């Protein structure tokens, strides 16, 4: 009896020992855990938030079932179903990783496309900047956009797409601001009414020069060219510098704009602050009429005058003037010898409707 009791006790202890042992770790469960980590690192919460949440819920349920099965008596544990569930989750995780990779590539492509779009705008703005004096505010915004683009490129390289998008958004804002400034500056230069007017003024001047077999000067502000005509034919072309706000038409004293219209040389000054000078009859009757109208409408402060002393002078074409037309000393020497008091000087915004600058402005 004692031997039989001992055997029964041993069997019971053996069964208890086996029953109490821990269930084996499932390789599928470990693999699923690693896939979950990979999904998180790949940015699943950003690229596939809904699918990622479904995956995590499925994994959570599988773990609960695994724990439940492991807590059962070892003879009643059914881990094959849990393994199959983990395998299904693993397959879903791998599929999601592939989707993330595809969406990451799509996102990078879209970001680089947007970067290129902003860069294309900036490249046009850079060229336009080189042709005008009113470029400081534009350059500041271009520089700001360039810095932000560089930051966006760094963020893309680090897979930080949301931060890249933010930098790109700010870069686009800077570029758009520069674009608006350019559009306002060139508003008259893409207006057919102004282009036709400038063409008419220039053609009248050339016709008069041809009819009277006389000299005449036409200044193209956008091209920064002074064209000397003789008998209606081009005799010489000179590069010139203009006022700080050269694209605008002069309205009043201190606006640092170069006037537009028909003028004439009223005085030759052989010794000037700017080497030599040819004084123009600004303001003429048209200038006075417009000035009075704008004063009446309150567009010009009461204390501001119309200004004067607009010259074609030496001193170099690269320096900014207060509204005058500046030439190299050698050029003013030549012009000074040729022209006389009374020589017509017609100043227009531009004569070249098809200029590169206007083409770029229209493409903005």
* Backbone angles phi and psi of 147, in degrees to 5: -65, -45
98 vs 42: CA distance, rounded Å: 10
Q: Where exactly are the structural domains of the chain? A: 26-103, 113-188, 195-353
Residue with tokens 């599988």: 62
Asked if 119 contacts 149 with a C-beta cutoff of 8 angstroms, the reply is yes
Q: Helix, strand, coil: what percent of the chain each, to 5? A: 60, 15, 25
pLDDT (tens place) for every residue of the chain, 364 residues total: 555 556 545 544 444 444 445 556 788 889 889 989 999 988 888 888 999 999 899 989 888 888 887 787 666 677 788 888 989 999 998 999 999 899 889 999 999 999 999 999 999 999 999 888 888 899 999 999 999 999 999 999 988 898 999 999 999 999 999 999 999 999 999 999 999 999 999 999 999 999 999 999 999 999 999 999 999 999 999 999 998 888 888 888 888 889 999 999 999 999 888 899 999 999 999 989 998 888 888 888 888 888 889 999 998 877 678 889 999 999 999 999 999 999 999 999 999 988 889 999 998 8
Average pLDDT, the chain: 88
CB environment 192-205: b (16+ within 10 A), e (fewer): eebbebbeebbeeb
* pLDDT on residue 14: 46
CB environment 282-302: b (16+ within 10 A), e (fewer): bbeeebeebbeeeeeeeebee
* pLDDT on residue 22: 57
- To the question of pTM greater than 0.75 for the whole model, the response is yes
* Backbone angles phi and psi of 16, in degrees to 5: -65, -40
Residues in the chain: 364
**Pairing of the two strands 225-230 and 215-220:** antiparallel
Cα dihedral 92, 96, 98, 99 sign: positive
Residue among 308, 351, 316 nearest 333 (CA): 316
What CATH code would you report for 195-353? 2.40.440.10
């Amino acid at each position: 009896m004692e031997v039989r009791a001992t055997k029964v006790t041993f069997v019971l202890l053996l069964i208890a020992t086996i029953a109490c042992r821990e269930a084996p770790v499932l390789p599928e469960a470990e693999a699923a855990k690693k896939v979950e980590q990979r999904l998180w690192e790949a940015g699943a919460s950003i690229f596939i938030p809904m699918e990622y949440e479904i995956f995590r819920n499925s994994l959570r349920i599988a773990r609960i079932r695994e724990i439940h099965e492991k807590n059962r008596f070892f003879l009643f544990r059914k881990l094959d179903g849990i393994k199959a569930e983990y395998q299904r989750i693993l397959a879903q995780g791998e599929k999601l990783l592939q989707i993330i990779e595809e969406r990451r590539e799509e996102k990078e492509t879209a970001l680089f496309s947007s970067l290129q779009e902003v860069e294309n705008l900036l490249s046009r703005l850079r060229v336009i900047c080189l042709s005008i004096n009113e470029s400081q505010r534009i350059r500041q915004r271009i520089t700001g956009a360039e810095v932000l683009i560089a930051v966006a490129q760094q963020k893309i390289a680090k897979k930080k797409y949301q931060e890249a998008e933010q930098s790109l958004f700010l870069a686009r804002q800077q570029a758009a601001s520069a674009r608006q400034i350019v559009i306002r500056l060139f508003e008259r230069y893409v207006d057919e009414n102004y282009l036709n007017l400038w063409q008419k003024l220039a053609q009248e001047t050339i016709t008069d020069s041809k009819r009277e077999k006389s000299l005449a000067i036409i200044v193209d502000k956008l091209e920064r060219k002074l064209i000397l005509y003789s008998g209606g034919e081009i005799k010489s072309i000179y590069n010139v510098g203009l006022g700080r706000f050269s694209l605008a038409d002069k309205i009043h004293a201190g606006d640092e704009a170069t006037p537009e219209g028909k003028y004439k040389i009223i005085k030759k000054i052989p010794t000037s602050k700017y080497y030599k000078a040819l004084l123009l009859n600004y303001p003429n009757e048209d200038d006075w009429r417009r000035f009075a109208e704008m004063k009446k409408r309150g567009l010009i402060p009461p204390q501001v005058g119309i200004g004067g002393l607009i010259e074609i002078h030496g001193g170099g074409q690269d320096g900014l003037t207060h509204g005058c037309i500046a030439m190299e000393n050698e050029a003013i020497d030549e012009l000074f010898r040729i022209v006389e008091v009374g020589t017509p000087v017609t100043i227009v915004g531009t004569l070249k409707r098809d200029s590169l600058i206007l083409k770029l402005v229209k493409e903005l």
